[in-house]
A = this chain, B = another copy of it.
């Protein structure tokens, strides 16, 4: 079978490189171009093969059946239009087309929750890393109507530093970050908040969200800890997730809280939950761990590509 020609816009960041790595090893995708304006002409070894970056302007958009955009937020929109104009289907990993940004016609690519819409789409908005961990954890509670209407859902997330990108900034030097831990973008100002609020609204959930992000002194991984007031105690605390995600190859429900090591370098979301003891309002703690570059970005993007092109959903994805 011929491989599907794909291109990557913005290939020199952590997400772009992870995408190229997966594509190079994918049995049904072949990398047609990879753009990186600041490294145009440079050759890098990714996995066992070399890639030469080109400028975005020089990308052979018309020779790709699928284009992934890992361009920065704001810069992506224009190139999505150009790629679509050239006849390619597009998976956008920037925030430009995600919920809460006024692009309502574009399916939001949480694969497990929107398979059919993704399969039919010409353009898919790939979810952000934090929202993936939060929304996969909350979705079963929303669909069962278990969240107390009008309640406040308190989300604490911690991410490894690849989530902050590979631009050289002093505050990300190892001499500054090792042995440290900090909150950032405090007070519900994080870019991902609109994405989560918009999605919860789309799902018909009536809840307020408090979302606090923290920076971990590790390279990869997100752990999200959520406190959710629920309408009733559950006999089996994991049942909402085991039922909602039965048979899902990339979602793992565990009795122990998940850790980063459980999921890094894999396209997996690992979820656990526990009932809180001793509060007047029954409350659940829900945990979700993902690799921010895999299920939180490049892995889920390729999962979506598999769905869009009728390939087996697990093809080419380490799980």
Contact = CB atoms under 8 A, between A and B. Distances in A.
Interface of A: 14, 48, 150, 152, 154, 156, 158, 160-162, 164, 166-170, 172-184, 186-189, 193, 197, 208-210, 212, 214, 216-221, 223, 225, 227, 229, 257-261, 264-265, 274-281, 283, 285, 287, 319
A199 B172 CA distance: 37
A259 B181 contact: yes
Number of this chain's copies in the complex: 4
A221 B287 CA distance: 23
A52 to B, nearest CB: 18
3 closest Cβ pairs, A-B complex: A182-B259, A187-B274, A168-B168
Given A212-B225, A278-B208, A177 B180 contact: no
B179 A177 contact: no
Given A174-B177, A217-B217, A285-B187, A208 B168 contact: no
Which of A48, A181, A214: most chain B CB closer than 10 A?
A: A181
Given A150-B280, A152-B229, 10 more contacts: A48-B319, A152-B283, A168-B168, A168-B169, A178-B219, A180-B221, A181-B260, A182-B260, A186-B257, A188-B277
